[in-house]
Chains A and B, each alone.
Chain A
Amino acid sequence: MTDETPLVKIRGIKLEGRSDETWNPIINGVDLTLARGEVLGLIGESGAGKSTLGLAAMGYTRDGVRISDGTVEFDGIDLLTASAATKRDLLGKRIAYVAQSAAASFNPAHKLMDQHVEGPVQHGVNDRGSSEEDGIELYRKLRLPNPDEIGFRYPHQVSGGQLQRAMTAMAMSCRPDLIIFDEPTTALDVTTQIEVLASIRDIVEQYNTAAIYITHDLAVVAQMADRIKVLLKGDEVETADTRTMLSAPTQEYTKSLWAVRSFERPKKPGVSTGAVPVVSVQNVDAAYGKVPVLFDVSFDMHSGRTVAVVGESGSGKSTTARCITGLLPPTAGQIMLDGEVLPADYRKRSKDQLRQVQMIYQMADTALNPRMSIGQIIARPVQFYLGLTGAAKRKRVDALLEQIELEPSEYYNRLPSELSGGQKQRIGIARALAAEPKFIICDEVTSALDQLVAEGILRLLARLQDDLSLSYMFITHDLATVRAIADEVVVMKDGRVIEQGDKEEMFRPPHHAYTDLLLSSVPEMDPDWLTNLLTERGVDNIGDAAVDKM
């Protein structure tokens, strides 16, 4: 190592969070060293304490969190004993922060430029005029469209990916020595993410800024970081150079993280010709009020098979699901179930028709009634659709809990709030299964979950499909999930189906240009992936810029 003092030196840091009246450990004594100009990737599942540790490196804790032990030094300054004024002088000026949701972290009441210049002006680094000029320069470097003008808009007038770059520009406004990136691309579509990643990496390299890059996405961190530190439940698992870590992880946990993306179902035989699809979407148009959102959407879903519907936010995936369930009656076209036309409005469907089409939602948290016990939640469709009561109902609920690998006696009386995210999603699955449907719509069911947990859910869904011959419509924007479980793929863009076919076919070139762009935008574990892609295509032919050209 070099002999100069490290930029950040954290030793034995312990953080605790308050729940009710007790303090529970979040981070149990972690060391972290960051050299000048170095980018450290901090990865782990949700609840691993990544963000808390990242903020602690700034000497900051959120309400209800406290540092109980350890030291944090920034450039030789002890941040834990420093006065509030000393810390304020460092924050924004020498240490900057880029938050996960730029849309929520920009103040809605002020223009971007007003917020951009606030740091330099308040810290006395620069006057307003030069800060504005510098802001425009940074916007240009981050390849924001209309750099001269975009800063004079309000946050709500700018798209999410652009806001994320504007926030990076804001963090750069005082040319800090350190930037904490807290999951800056997690909320973005893949094509938007890739642009933001390229911009961030460029600017950090250009100004030789040190960074702590927090994410749960291994492929992303592989592109961004020089070194990776893996956290698990508040403890460090291991730290190593990015390449070493990717090629030769030493710890079991790290290996298991790396292995997640290897889950893939065996190929199934094709659909026999003449088979009646379970659900068939035929030439469906739909509109929200007067705004048309779906145009001539058609695809079939067969028994025992999974159709993945892929596309970016706003492409019409969930709207199609709403048409199938009858929540949004189509303006044209029809939905067929087992060869029979389904009434467009769910209120006109028979109980048996309703029973056949079930849904599992993205946010298991909000999809489960917080005041009902797990037993009650699952028993409700059992009673409603199958008419079971008393002991028969209880027996059926127990059987369903066993199917989703949760011990009935232990979980029957619990409330949703007493379950983990993955367990809640399992309850969502059991509730759908309780109706004994033929067809289940899975709407982004794994996107709110950590990779290991998500993999468990995918394996469970796959097993249930084999056991019960279920047909799945799997809505997702994550192509790794598609690779893992789909039989057929439907690609949607702007309310239209632009490509559909077998998974193998879809992942094999030549693709439709948009599919190709989607596929190529998914980060890979190869640390040279982003560099290669940029060399291959040029900065103007990736991400949203490329989408706009279509």
Chain B
Amino acid sequence: MGNVLTIILQRLALGALTLLIVSIVIFVAVNLLPGDFAQNILGQGATPEAVASIRKDLGLDQPPVTRYFDWLGGVLRGDLGSSFAQANFASFTGTDSGAKTVADQIAPRFANTMFLAMVTAIIAVPLSITLGVLAALYRNSVFDRAANITTLSSISSPEFFLAYILILFLAVLNPILPSLSNIYDGMAFSERLQKSLLPALTLTLVVTAHMMRMTRAAIINLLASPYIEMARLKGLSPMRVIVKHALPNALAPIINVIALNLAYLITGVVVVEVVFVYPGIGQLFVDSVKIRDIPVVQACCLIFAAAYILLNLTADIMSILSNPRLRHPK
């Protein structure tokens, strides 16, 4: 086991290093955006003095390196900074709107995104693995082809199109599910779940094909192995051969594809959020980019990067653990 622990620690260290590099990239990229918050908020008629004053208030007059380390220091202390849009410009407007930190702003949105991702994953992962196993078991049959065509067409259609189709069938023609997913704090779990179901189904349609096809391919890849022939010659049922003998050895690639799709669910669902008016982190991110609310943009980017790195790390570790050679060295 010491062997595995070393590998895991190495991967964790590597993940932290990647995150650090990503933070630099995010900072540089965000600063390359044309215009800044001060110009944006004051419009074209702004006097240079007013712009400079706001910049000074927000610390935008500091050199980029200083700003980066200020930000990084804050992040390491768990302080993501204050949102520009919610900041109290006392020196400029003379009013007090009540300061709001980035963390306060992101937390509920992120929780919503995670909720949606989780609901989707709970539907999509077992569904795709089951479909993949069945497709491998009945390969080249009508079922296999139908599953492939359906999932491929759904992955090939734009997300908003799938969303509107689902709305048409499940909300308009047969009003089973609500078409608006305007969830809010303090909503009962069952209601929250019901309102999230349509976006979750849309996302399921988007991610299933990838995972299902990898499951099918990874299993079929192993069917020519001598140990699969052995299992067949022991007179085991085709289902048992696939589930008990092929699947455990096909886990590594499947786990990796699942991780990739889960990361997508956390970071890439803006379109679906917009269609269903779901208050997730994607919308917040897009809005913040529009008004150059840099602390929020940076924090979102960092969360997305961390989600990718963490999920891939988990996938790596699970792949290692699924290999008995690494779990039980000689």
A residues whose Cβ falls under 8 Å from a Cβ of B: 58, 60, 62-63, 87-93, 96-97, 99, 101, 104-110, 118-119, 122-123, 153-154, 156-157
Smallest Cβ distance from A151 to chain B, in angstroms? Answer: 14
B236 at interface, CB cutoff 8 A: yes
Partner of B226, one of A91, A104, A122: A104
Contact with A along B218-247 (1 / 0, CB 8 A): 000000111101111111110010001100
Contact yes or no, B249 A157, CB < 8 A: no
Contact yes or no, A90 B248, CB < 8 A: no
Smallest Cβ distance from A50 to chain B, in angstroms? Answer: 16
B328 at interface, CB cutoff 8 A: yes
Contact yes or no, A58 B249, CB < 8 A: no
Partner of B235, one of A99, A122, A153: A122
Contact yes or no, A109 B235, CB < 8 A: no
B77 at interface, CB cutoff 8 A: no
Contact yes or no, B227 A92, CB < 8 A: no
Contact yes or no, A99 B234, CB < 8 A: no
Cβ contacts under 8 Å, B224 to chain A: 63
How far is B243's CA from A110's CA once the two chains are assembled, in angstroms? 13
Task: Jot down 7 A-B pairs with beta carbons below 8 A, ordered by A.
Answer: A92-B233, A99-B226, A105-B229, A105-B230, A109-B245, A109-B324, A122-B234
Nearest A residue to B234, CB-CB: A92
Contact yes or no, B248 A91, CB < 8 A: no
Contact with A along B252-294 (1 / 0, CB 8 A): 0000000000000000000000000000000000000000000
- Having A99-B229, A109-B324, one finds 10 other A-B pairs with CB under 8 Å, namely A60-B232, A87-B235, A88-B235, A92-B235, A93-B235, A99-B226, A99-B230, A109-B248, A153-B328, A156-B330
Partner of A108, one of B229, B232, B249: B249
A63-B224, A107-B245, A156-B325 in contact; A118/B229 too (CB < 8 A)? no
How far is B25's CA from A427's CA once the two chains are assembled, in angstroms? 56
Cβ contacts under 8 Å, A119 to chain B: 234-235
Nearest B residue to A100, CB-CB: B226
Which residues 300-330 of B have a CB within 8 angstroms of A? 324-325, 328, 330
How many positions in chain B have a CB within 8 Å of any CB in the partner chain? 22
Smallest Cβ distance from A160 to chain B, in angstroms? Answer: 13
How far is B63's CA from A482's CA once the two chains are assembled, in angstroms? 79
Contact yes or no, B249 A109, CB < 8 A: yes
Nearest A residue to B231, CB-CB: A107
How far is B224's CA from A167's CA once the two chains are assembled, in angstroms? 19
Nearest A residue to B222, CB-CB: A107
How far is B235's CA from A90's CA once the two chains are assembled, in angstroms? 7
Q: Which 6 A-B pairs have the closest CB atoms?
A: A91-B235, A92-B235, A92-B234, A109-B248, A104-B226, A97-B233
Cβ contacts under 8 Å, A118 to chain B: 234, 236, 244
Contact yes or no, B235 A110, CB < 8 A: no
A63-B224, A154-B328, A156-B325 in contact; A106/B236 too (CB < 8 A)? no
Cβ contacts under 8 Å, A93 to chain B: 235
Cβ contacts under 8 Å, B234 to chain A: 91-92, 96-97, 118-119, 122
Nearest A residue to B236, CB-CB: A122
Smallest Cβ distance from A255 to chain B, in angstroms? Answer: 35
Smallest Cβ distance from A476 to chain B, in angstroms? Answer: 26
Cβ contacts under 8 Å, B325 to chain A: 108, 154, 156
The number of residue pairs between A and B whose CB atoms lie closer than 8 Å in the complex comes to 75
Contact yes or no, A91 B233, CB < 8 A: yes
Contact yes or no, B236 A108, CB < 8 A: no
Cβ contacts under 8 Å, B237 to chain A: 88, 122
Cβ contacts under 8 Å, B233 to chain A: 58, 60, 91-92, 96-97
How far is B227's CA from A101's CA once the two chains are assembled, in angstroms? 10
Smallest Cβ distance from B246 to chain A, in angstroms? Answer: 9
A109-B249, A156-B324 in contact; A62/B236 too (CB < 8 A)? no
Cβ contacts under 8 Å, A91 to chain B: 232-235
How far is B237's CA from A110's CA once the two chains are assembled, in angstroms? 18
Contact yes or no, B227 A108, CB < 8 A: yes
How far is B227's CA from A105's CA once the two chains are assembled, in angstroms? 4
Cβ contacts under 8 Å, A89 to chain B: 235
How far is B225's CA from A109's CA once the two chains are assembled, in angstroms? 13
Contact yes or no, B240 A122, CB < 8 A: yes
Nearest A residue to B327, CB-CB: A154
Cβ contacts under 8 Å, B227 to chain A: 104-108
How far is B325's CA from A62's CA once the two chains are assembled, in angstroms? 29
How far is B234's CA from A96's CA once the two chains are assembled, in angstroms? 7
Contact yes or no, A123 B249, CB < 8 A: no
Between B234, B245, B324, B328, the greatest number of chain A beta carbons within 10 A of the residue's beta carbon is seen for B234
How far is B324's CA from A106's CA once the two chains are assembled, in angstroms? 13
Smallest Cβ distance from B253 to chain A, in angstroms? Answer: 14
Contact yes or no, A157 B328, CB < 8 A: yes
Nearest B residue to A173, CB-CB: B234
Smallest Cβ distance from A447 to chain B, in angstroms? Answer: 20
Cβ contacts under 8 Å, A109 to chain B: 245, 248-249, 324
Smallest Cβ distance from A220 to chain B, in angstroms? Answer: 21
Cβ contacts under 8 Å, B230 to chain A: 97, 99, 105-107
Contact yes or no, A92 B236, CB < 8 A: yes
Contact yes or no, B324 A108, CB < 8 A: yes
Contact yes or no, A88 B328, CB < 8 A: no
Cβ contacts under 8 Å, A110 to chain B: 244, 248
How far is B230's CA from A105's CA once the two chains are assembled, in angstroms? 6
Cβ contacts under 8 Å, A88 to chain B: 235-237
How far is B236's CA from A89's CA once the two chains are assembled, in angstroms? 8
Smallest Cβ distance from B89 to chain A, in angstroms? Answer: 62
Cβ contacts under 8 Å, A104 to chain B: 225-227
Cβ contacts under 8 Å, B232 to chain A: 60, 91
Nearest A residue to B233, CB-CB: A97
How far is B325's CA from A97's CA once the two chains are assembled, in angstroms? 25
Contact yes or no, A62 B235, CB < 8 A: no
Smallest Cβ distance from B50 to chain A, in angstroms? Answer: 68
Smallest Cβ distance from A91 to chain B, in angstroms? Answer: 3
Cβ contacts under 8 Å, B229 to chain A: 62, 99, 105
Nearest A residue to B237, CB-CB: A88
Contact with A along B80-93 (1 / 0, CB 8 A): 00000000000000
Smallest Cβ distance from B243 to chain A, in angstroms? Answer: 12
Smallest Cβ distance from A79 to chain B, in angstroms? Answer: 12
How far is B325's CA from A157's CA once the two chains are assembled, in angstroms? 8
Nearest B residue to A157, CB-CB: B330
Smallest Cβ distance from B322 to chain A, in angstroms? Answer: 8
Cβ contacts under 8 Å, B240 to chain A: 122
Cβ contacts under 8 Å, B231 to chain A: 107
How far is B225's CA from A62's CA once the two chains are assembled, in angstroms? 11
How far is B325's CA from A154's CA once the two chains are assembled, in angstroms? 8
Smallest Cβ distance from A26 to chain B, in angstroms? Answer: 17
Smallest Cβ distance from B198 to chain A, in angstroms? Answer: 39
How far is B230's CA from A107's CA once the two chains are assembled, in angstroms? 9
How far is B87's CA from A540's CA once the two chains are assembled, in angstroms? 86
Cβ contacts under 8 Å, A92 to chain B: 233-236
Smallest Cβ distance from B147 to chain A, in angstroms? Answer: 22
Nearest A residue to B329, CB-CB: A157
Between B232, B237, B245, B324, the greatest number of chain A beta carbons within 10 A of the residue's beta carbon is seen for B324
Cβ contacts under 8 Å, A101 to chain B: 226
Smallest Cβ distance from B130 to chain A, in angstroms? Answer: 20
